[in-house]
Structure 1
Amino acid sequence: MLTSTLLAAATAPLQWSPSIGIIMILANVIAIAFGKSSIKYPNSEPALPSANFFGGFGVPALLATTAFGHILGVGIILGLHNLGRF
């Protein structure tokens, strides 16, 4: 029963294109900017090899912001695909 419901809700597959990559990059940049202004301890240990290159983030902050950026990017991409833009 659940499988047939999931198959009925499935959409056409989404092909990768450079515009999708740009949307994902922009979503990650927005998430990093949001994290830079809202994370209380962005430089917690373990530190990255070149912290200045990564905006002063430690490993936990970098992983958190990029994970949030990917979730944000997937939501934008799938939303636009659902609207028929891709």
Structure 2
Amino acid sequence: MLTTILLTVAPRTVEWSPTIGLIMVLCNVLAIAFGKLTIKHQSTGGAMPSSSMFGGFGLGAVLGTTCFGHILGAGTILGLSYIGAI
């Protein structure tokens, strides 16, 4: 009984398109910029292969900002699809 109720509650999903990809890239860039301004010890942890390419971020800062960017992007994409903008 509970399984059938849970199966009927499904989130709204959209198919991938270049617009979806652009939104995700922009959200990740925004999250990295936010991290660059707010992370106090950016190079703490393991080093990235080319530190100049990653803005001097260490492994922890790169993982943290990109995780935040994906969470932000997923919320933005779901929200925009819910209101019918994409």
Superposed pair shares fold, TM > 0.5: yes
The share of aligned pairs that are identical, in percent, is 56
1:12 Cα deviation (Å)? Answer: 4.8
1:11 Cα deviation (Å)? Answer: 4.6
The answer (yes or no) to whether the contact 2:13–2:78 under 8 Å persists in 1 is no
1:16 Cα deviation (Å)? Answer: 0.3
1:48 alignment partner in structure 2: 48
1:79 Cα deviation (Å)? Answer: 0.5
Change in Cα spacing, 1:12 to 1:72, as seen in structure 2 (3 Å) is closer
CA RMSD of aligned residues (A): 1.5
TM-score (structure 1 length as normaliser):
0.89
Which 5+ residue runs of structure 1 have no aligned equivalent?
none
What code does the residue aligned with 2:51 have? A
What code does the residue aligned with 1:17 have? S
Specify the SS of the correspondent of 1:84: coil
**Within 5 Å, which residues of 2 pair with 1:10-25?**
10-25=10-25
Change in Cα spacing, 1:74 to 1:49, as seen in structure 2 (3 Å) is same
The answer (yes or no) to whether the contact 2:12–2:78 under 8 Å persists in 1 is no
> What is the aligned length?
86
1:32 alignment partner in structure 2: 32
TM-score (structure 2 length as normaliser):
0.89
1:7 Cα deviation (Å)? Answer: 3.4
Q: Is the deviation greater in 10-19 or in 24-33? A: 10-19
Task: Write out per-residue CA displacement over residues 8-33 of structure 1, whole angstroms, 9 at most, x where no aligned residue.
Answer: 43255411000000000000000000
